Structure 1
């Protein structure tokens, strides 16, 4: 599958208008896609933002002409009702044909707990996500009102009058562990994962995704392996590393394992992450060659659609340098 290079317009890190300007700039440089984080709380406290992704996407789609656009990632089970998620992305997909997708996952405590007070087990949240996807697809596809009574969600003669193009929205399903990756293959159109050890991606995550796809009667060769990873580029190597500090909390396992939802607490943990750990897990480069090497490392593991979060000290430089990078990693 042809490698695609996407730009992650971080609504947690940048003011929404700044992120929109980045999206426009990224399209002009040659990025294939733009992704928006669908968060309520951010992964850092200081100098953070938290714009609503769907509102931002409507503006960004109108401001651009070509790029595919999706959230990364929407949790359709707690603070959002899956029927409303279905309606939102059906609307966007009808208005901007072939340019809109949605990525779904079982959520993070920082987004769900503050506004619902709920945080079910990961197993239950995965079950809820699968059922939510079923609800969304039924609403997109059905020519008749839908009545559905699941374990978690109910539809009572619900009908989407505004249908998406082709009665579907490309759905990226989040899969990080083996179980999540298999569920992604079974219920998603494509895989969305996050930066991990390339060997794990190659030997566990992607095989499990493809196993799930085959069990569901799908052709894995037609399904993307997308991955979110942050990068920072600066001639000063230390500045390049520290540029990614904003996202260091994602490297702390307890942030996912426990009900941590206060960005101040997340930041305390992020600031304790060693520079070497950031360098090992994210792309920290001093030039285009360093970015190319960082991308190729994951491309060799089987990733074919990159969702690249720009944490460079000079954000515009971090976009413009891809004039050199994109041809090198896609040809």
Structure 2
């Protein structure tokens, strides 16, 4: 059965609200949760960017059963991989074994803040591969000394190791990342329902491993209000990964989406309260082979109503249909 997840979207709500939302998602019956890890919102209209790892620690204490996951953390620029290993191990202990570490090669939007520039994709993937190796060795309890192409580590050890290491997920968008995910990841992460990505993941060792997808939705009893909100806060998502990974900040996304129309957004994102439309938006992910599908409700102030509707209407319909 496909599992349906809830997204703590750090770009659209403050830290206390995010913790409250994921606790409500647990009560509503969502199967898992994920959190974005950003230093900036995509658009100024979103208006937030709290530190995801502090939110995760609070969420681990505010919930008891719902799994938690980064979607995704970049372990190469803002965060050194040895620091990521410590944070993830601590989260696994705090959550009682409910944490999965989602990793990716990052976006310029977030990683440029440390002033190291933004290299080409092949270099970012090389950094990611080296980082995953360091994290895996630390999860295994090694004292790591490493002097590689991109990272240096000296006598790094995790003094608080969980009984079970967090699973490592790797985000994919093309052949190189699929190869990396299949070879080194415990699961794969994608934001588009492309069966070909999962096929390539399987070919490189991913067969039988979980595959996690994500899509935005915008619930509101007033469909026009939902479309307006989705356009205001989420039109950036129509640009595609190759564009979104490169732009440096909200001003660039504002300019890049200046001619995106509300009807363009409505064609790509289910808006309103038609359960059938939401089910049909999720269906391509299930048909492509995703085992876990996380929903993003657009609008930080509109989570409670979405979660109530999900409990009574959406989740039962998805579980009947997928």
TM, length-normalised to structure 1: 0.89
> CA shift at 1:226, angstroms?
0.6
Task: State the SS of the aligned residue for 1:244.
Answer: helix
Say yes or no: does 1:272 pair with 2:270: no
Number of residue pairs matched by the alignment = 317
What's the secondary structure of 1:157's corresponding residue?
strand
Equivalent residue in structure 2 for 1:174, among 158, 171, 174: 171
Structure 1 partner of 2:74: 75
In structure 2, C-alpha distance between the alignment counterparts of 1:304 and 1:181, rounded to whole Å: 17
Counterpart contact for 2:107–2:244, Cα < 8 Å: no
Residue matched to 1:319: 307
Q: CA deviation at 1:259?
A: 4.2
Write out aligned runs for 1:224-263 (5 A). 224-245=210-231, 246-253=233-240, 256=243, 259-263=246-250
* Counterpart contact for 1:77–1:128, Cα < 8 Å: yes
- Per the alignment, in what secondary structure is the counterpart of residue 87 of structure 2? helix
1:298 corresponds to: 285
User: CA offset at residue 281 of structure 1?
Assistant: 3.1
Partner of 1:288: 275
Cα 1:63/1:258, change in 2 over 3 Å: closer
Distance 1:325 1:82 in 2: 38
**Distance in 1 separating the partners of 2:128 and 2:245:** 19
**Structure 2 residue aligned with 1:165:** 163
Per-residue CA deviation, residues 219-241 of structure 1 (Å, 9 max, x unaligned), is: x12x1111121110223332222
The Cα offsets for residues 137-190 of structure 1, whole Å up to 9 and x where unpaired, read as 000103x42222221112222211111232x21111100223222321122111
Change (3 A) 1:254 1:315: closer
Structure 1 unaligned residues grouped into runs of 5+: 215-219
Contact 2:181 2:188 in 1 (8 A): yes
* CA RMSD in angstroms, aligned pairs only: 2.0
Render the CA deviation track for 1:218-268: whole Å, top value 9, x for unaligned. xx12x1111121110223332222332212212224873774212122123
- 1:16 positional shift: 1.4
Kept in 1, the 8 Å contact 2:11–2:46? The answer is no
Secondary structure at the counterpart of residue 226 of structure 1: strand
Q: Is 1:213 matched with 2:211?
A: no
State the shift of 1:97 in Å.
2.3
Match of 1:165, SS state, is coil
Q: What is aligned with 1:140? A: 139
Query: C-alpha offsets along residues 276-295 of structure 1, whole Å, 9 cap, x if unaligned?
Result: 43234333343223222222
On the 8 A contact 2:275/2:317 being kept in 1, the answer is no
After TM superposition, the score normalised by the length of structure 2 is 0.92
The worse-fitting range, judged by mean Cα deviation, of 292-301 and 26-35 is 292-301
Deviation by residue 1:7-54 (Cα, 9 ceiling, x = unmatched): 101111111111211111111000111211100011111241000000
Conserved? CA contact 1:97–1:165, under 8 Å = no
Query: 5+ unaligned residues in a row in structure 2: which ranges?
Result: none
Shift of 1:308: 1.0
Instruction: Give the Cα–Cα distance (whole angstroms) in 1 for the partners of residues 107 and 213 of structure 2.
Output: 17
| 1:40 correspondence with 2:39 | yes
Q: 1:165 to 1:40 in 2, by over 3 A?
A: same
Separation (CA, whole Å) in 1 of partners of 2:59 and 2:140:
26
